[in-house]
């Protein structure tokens, strides 16, 4: 929470029912103060100026201007913490990923029907994510052009034959703010990297689309992981939402195990599950990076990697949207190096030589 005062929230939502339900959720917790509501972005724009909220909750589909267009303008002209709250449809899933790229801190998927019956289940999630967003470091997002990947690029060439680096692999874990951070790192990496395994806290459906977004703008071959898939050079695989992912080994090298295990640290997928398995299977041949995110998931796993002699990196406070996960790793002595986000890709490339 911001000092000892209440977190001032502005709700931007075109549905009167949703505005009522969101207001009730925040009014049930004395940590929050609803400073206002707005039914469309034009009203919201004026209320932001007049009321100066700490956090904005924002819907995707609204009249006069959609939420993504509004967010893009907001983050360019007046960056502030935003939590997206929208229904889980294919269209809105794409839009939510775009919102995260533009700088939204996090998102909550609201039920498509029976809103009053199901919305109570999301009350804790909404309050937790808005509370977290109030502590986030938000700045204007400067979008960089994606690297050009031609039809004859190395994505179409088996890298195993050209770069026999199967003994090495990279593991990356992140939560809130991680979609931006992972995108920033992967877009700087060439196609001849060791295999990369990624856990980003996201629910089902979002991880596949996130991988597709990454694949379109990276030289690496990025996809959602499947059980039994070999992790080869030139590949980056994202753990599916709602499932756990671990590293195992067979006679041919590293293999990804994707399975329906219990939540660890309240997360499925969990960064700790991946990193503990990497420590056991790859040892000093691995590099681990723990990025921005709330909580402590991944800290113990990074410590286990550190103990094997692996290179372990934690994102620094200044460049983290939420410093929780890397901070916990640093406090445990799990990070050999603490680096700003803009330096992590270069360190990965240096380590991979």
Catalytic residues, which ones? Answer: 175, 201, 297
Are the beta carbons of 174 and 293 closer than 8 angstroms? Answer: yes
Residues facing 272 on adjacent strands: none
Q: By C-alpha distance, which of 189, 166, 140, 145 is closest to 289?
A: 189
Separation CA 225–CA 248 (nearest Å): 13
Both ends of the chain: CA-CA distance in Å? Answer: 43
> Which sign, positive or negative, has the C-alpha torsion 161, 162, 168, 169?
negative
221 CB-near residues (< 8 Å, 6+ apart) = 155, 191, 215, 234, 235, 236
Q: What is the 3-state secondary structure (H, E, C) of 299-330?
A: HHHHHHHHHCCCEEEEECCCCCCCCHHHHHHH
Separation CA 294–CA 133 (nearest Å): 10
């Amino acid at each position: 929470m911001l000092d000892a005062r209440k977190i001032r929230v502005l709700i931007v939502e075109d549905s009167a029912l949703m505005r009522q339900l969101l207001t009730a959720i925040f009014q049930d917790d004395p940590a929050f103060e609803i400073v206002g509501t707005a039914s469309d972005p034009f009203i919201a724009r004026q209320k932001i100026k007049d009321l100066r909220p700490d956090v904005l909750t924002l819907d995707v589909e609204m009249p006069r201007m959609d939420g993504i267009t509004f967010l893009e303008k907001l983050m360019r002209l007046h960056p502030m913490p935003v939590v997206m709250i929208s229904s889980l449809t294919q269209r809105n899933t794409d839009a939510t990923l775009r919102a995260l790229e533009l700088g939204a801190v996090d998102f909550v998927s609201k039920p498509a029907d029976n809103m009053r019956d199901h919305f109570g289940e999301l009350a804790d999630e909404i309050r937790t994510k808005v509370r977290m967003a109030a502590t986030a470091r938000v700045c204007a997002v400067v979008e960089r052009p994606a690297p050009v990947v031609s039809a004859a690029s190395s994505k179409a060439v088996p890298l195993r034959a050209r770069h026999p680096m199967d003994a090495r692999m990279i593991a990356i874990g992140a939560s809130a703010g991680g979609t931006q951070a992972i995108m920033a790192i992967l877009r700087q990496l060439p196609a001849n990297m060791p295999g990369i395994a990624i856990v980003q806290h996201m629910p089902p459906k979002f991880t596949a689309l996130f991988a597709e977004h990454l694949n379109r703008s990276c030289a690496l071959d990025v996809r959602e992981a499947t059980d039994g898939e070999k992790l080869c050079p030139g590949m980056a695989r994202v753990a599916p939402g709602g499932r756990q992912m671990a590293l195992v080994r067979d006679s041919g090298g590293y293999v990804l195990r994707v399975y329906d295990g219990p939540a660890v640290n309240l997360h499925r997928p969990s960064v700790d599950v991946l990193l503990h398995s990497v420590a056991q299977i790859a040892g000093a041949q691995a590099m681990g990076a723990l990025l921005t995110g709330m909580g402590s998931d991944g800290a113990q796993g990074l410590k286990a990697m550190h103990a094997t002699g692996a290179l372990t990196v934690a994102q620094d406070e200044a460049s983290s949207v939420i410093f929780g996960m890397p901070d916990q790793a640093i406090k445990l002595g799990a990070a050999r190096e603490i680096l700003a986000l803009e330096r992590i890709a270069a360190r990965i490339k240096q380590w991979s030589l």
